[in-house]
Amino acid sequence: MEMSTTLYFTALVVHIVGITIMAGTTFIDFVTFRSFGNVFQVDKAKGLVLEDYLYKLQRFMGVGMLIILASGVTMMIKLHEVWGAQIWFRIKMGVLLLIIINGLSLRRRLGSKLKKILTEDSSGDSIAGKFNRFKRDFTTVQVIQMLLFVIIYVLSIFKFN
């Protein structure tokens, strides 16, 4: 195997590892948030553990994104003339931007908002109403994120041109 082919395939393997971390974390974030929503008002201790875990997951999505970007750019150094001109790749870069905005900025903002809702007032009724609205926003962001991932998978594998 030629040296630069080895580098290219290595970058592709790393690409898949990054995708596993980022997309996997998105899914677990979704599942964890649902458990949190079910328990935080009835079991404070359990709620706190899950809340803490949710903030931690946020970081792993960022780490996964960095790995995906670094390996993607490495592959492009070798084949940018081939992929750069193709339609699937251009659409992919657009969807990538949406993934970054949705999954990193919006998700981070939701993280701070959750902290605010939970610390601001812990009196029963108002927190339930606020949390319901928040729950809808959080679920929307994560469902969109998972759909965006699927769109990128389809583009990257079918490579429509």
Which residues of the chain form contacts with ligand HEM (CB under 6 A)?
Answer: 12, 15, 19, 68-69, 72-73, 75-76, 83, 96, 99, 149, 152-153, 156-157
Min dist. Cβ of residue 141 to ligand HEM (A): 15
Min dist. Cβ of residue 128 to ligand HEM (A): 35
Task: Annotate 74-143 with DSSP letters as a single string.
Answer: HHHHHHHHHHTTSHHHHHHHHHHHHHIIIIIIIHHHHHHHHHHHHHH---HHHHHHHHHHHHHHHHHHHH
State the Cα–Cα distance between residues 111 and 132, nearest whole angstrom.
Answer: 15
Nearest-CB residue for ligand HEM: 72
Min dist. Cβ of residue 24 to ligand HEM (A): 11
Min dist. Cβ of residue 16 to ligand HEM (A): 7
Q: Smaller CB distance to ligand HEM: residue 19 or 114?
A: 19
Q: Smaller CB distance to ligand HEM: residue 75 or 141?
A: 75
Residue 81, C-beta contacts closer than 8 angstroms, at least 6 positions apart: none
Q: Identify which of 141, 9, 128 has the alpha carbon closest to the alpha carbon of residue 75.
A: 9
Q: Smaller CB distance to ligand HEM: residue 108 or 113?
A: 108
